[in-house]
Chain A
Amino acid sequence: MKKSFIEKLDPRSKLFFSLIVVILAIVIPEIIFLSALILVTLIMVIIGKMLKKWISYLSVFKILIPLLFFLNLFFYAGGRRYWGFEFSFLELYITQGGLIVSVTIILRLFSIAGVAAMFIISTDPIQIETALAALKVPWKLAFLFSLTLKLIPEMKTRYKKIEEAQLSRGLKISGGPIKKAKKKIPMMIPFLASIIKYGYELTEALEARDFDDIRERTTLIHLDHGVFDYMMYIFSISLFTLYVYLYLF
């Protein structure tokens, strides 16, 4: 598989960039700043040819986003009122303050999730493992973390197989949302069971590799910073300085 530019970067420089973005996103609550962060991440994703995958990773949030948006919209009040209603003691209005807060929260979520997704997609699990170890995270922990990244595609496969087994025994998913949810129980139960089973399988695999006995270890992996990595570091630092400067003044 041909590697894109972003994939070839050293995981440490990507991690550094991601951490800078996350810090900025948390510390600076301005809509324009946050949008610019997302834009920068988006540009990187496009250069790295990961757009489709990036969008599919972020679509995990498609329920959370509207939920957060509306909750904050109505329940945070401040400033001019735009639209709303009163219901006995309940006053629900969309206010200017509420709008700003909602949008800020959503943008913040996107900045952080966006850059995290970019990091995970463009970095081989084994590189993530090494990058984390370079941050002085204990190797075993870093390794287990990279193992959990295998979980999602494995679970997708198993869910599909379970779905097939049930559909081919006449299960029909139809009706309103509640009825549909009920119909999905024959798929949910074995699915949860298979997730638990997967946990046991991983444990056995690690036992078979004498995981518990590992104390120190050497590694074949060789991380090297290249020109583009230094550019990445410089870019990240510049971004940070620029933001802090613009924000404070």
Chain B
Amino acid sequence: MQIKIENLHFSYSDSPTLHSVDLSIDEGKNYAVMGRNGSGKTTLLKILAGLYKPDSGELKVPEGLEIGFSPEDPELGFFEKTVKKEIEFYPRNLGLDHEKLAAETLEKIGISGLQDKLPTILSSGQQRLVSIASVLSGRPDILLLDEPTHSLHRKGEKILGKLLEKFEQTIVFTTHSSDFALEFADKVIVMDSGTVLKVGDVRKVLNDDRILDKAGIRPPGPVAWARKNDIDIIPLNAEGAIEILKGGKD
């Protein structure tokens, strides 16, 4: 058990109100937070990040847990002259070996070629990757990402998804892309009108029409396909579906 939220309430003039939120975030798992605009996804993330304090209820975070947060508009936080320096910012603040960690992170994300460039002139997809790198480099125990797939093309998404799978850290991200959640998340937190509608295994929750309808989430491609073809197992992506088809035809 890493983070536990009990009966949390939060309201603030600029944000959607959260009420009666009960949630536990387990160590090492990837969570996708989904729901309509205004359902409270980003607010929840910001409360987990410690940027807002709840009005009532409990937010139990283990002592000394380092939490990194990457916001929805990555270019807002850029202030350094090079991508490398930007990525060194977080570990430097934590007193870690920033040069080493930055180099490792650049490597992992595959953007070493960008390290001497000015962050603000990069394309939106590249900026997104730099922003994620600049939060990863601090090696936080928990990684919170707000709409990380926004403005990433398919290859960028695959890179991101593979990274999320590889990391041992706990990752919580908001997304509108149910396909991405299906492929790369372990669990889904469905938000609706400021409260948690359901938390569960990604394959189960994203296959549940009642929940998808109520929360305004679109069924992932593979789910719709499996249903149409009367297939019980939900593939995680197109490659998975093709394996199933191959298996069926043999």
Interface residue? A171 (CB, 8 A)? yes
Size of the A side of the interface (Cβ < 8 Å), in residues, is: 20
Whether the Cβ atoms of A169 and B135 lie closer than 8 Å is yes
| Bound complex: CA A187 to CA B76 (Å) | 9
Contact at B77–A162, with CB atoms within 8 Å?
yes
**A194: interface (CB < 8 Å):** yes
Contacting residues, chain B, for A169 (C-beta < 8 A): 68-69, 77, 89-90, 93, 134-135, 138
* Nearest chain A CB to B14 CB, angstrom units: 8
Q: Which of B69, B79, B138 contacts A164 (CB 8 A)?
A: B69
Residue of B with least CB distance to A163? B51
**Least CB distance, A17 to chain B, in whole angstroms:** 31
Q: Which of A157, A162, A168, A171 contacts B51 (CB 8 A)?
A: A168
Main secondary structure of the interface of B (DSSP, over half): mixed
Q: Answer yes or no: B4 CB below 8 A from chain A CBs.
A: no
Q: Is B148 an interface residue (CB 8 A)?
A: no
Residues of A within 8 A of B134 (CB): 169
Residues of chain B lying within 8 A (CB to CB) of residue A175:
none
> Distance in Å from the Cβ of A185 to the closest Cβ of chain B?
7
Tell me if B73 counts as interface (CB < 8 A to partner A).
yes
In the assembled complex, A223 has its CB within 8 A of some CB on chain B: no
* Pick from A166, A172, A185: contact of B77, CB under 8 Å: A166
Q: 1/0 per position for B67-92, CB-CB distance to A under 8 A?
A: 11111011011110000000001100
Chain B 51-68 interface 0/1 with A at a Cβ cutoff of 8 Å (1 = within): 100000000000000111
Cβ distance A160 to chain B, nearest Cβ, rounded Å: 8
Identify which of B77, B93, B94 contacts A165 (C-beta below 8 A).
Answer: B77
With both chains docked as a complex, state the minimum distance between the C-beta of B73 and any C-beta of chain A, in angstroms.
6
User: A186 and B89: CB pair below 8 A?
Assistant: yes
Quick check: is B46 within 8 A (CB to CB) of the other chain? yes
> Pick the contact of B79 from A157, A167, A172, A185 — CB < 8 Å?
A185
Which chain B residue shows the least CB distance to A183? Answer: B93
B103 close to A (CB within 8 Å): no
What residues of A have a CB within 8 angstroms of the CB of B68 in the complex?
168-169
Q: Is the CB of B79 within 8 A of A186?
A: yes
Which residues on the A side are within 8 Å of B74 (C-beta)?
165
| Contact A158/B79 with A164-B69, A170-B138, A186-B89 known, Cβ cut-off 8 Å | no
Q: Are A164 and B93 CB-contacts (below 8 A) given A186-B79, A193-B120, A194-B76?
A: no
Interface residues of A (CB under 8 A from B): 157-158, 161-162, 164-172, 185-187, 189-190, 193-194
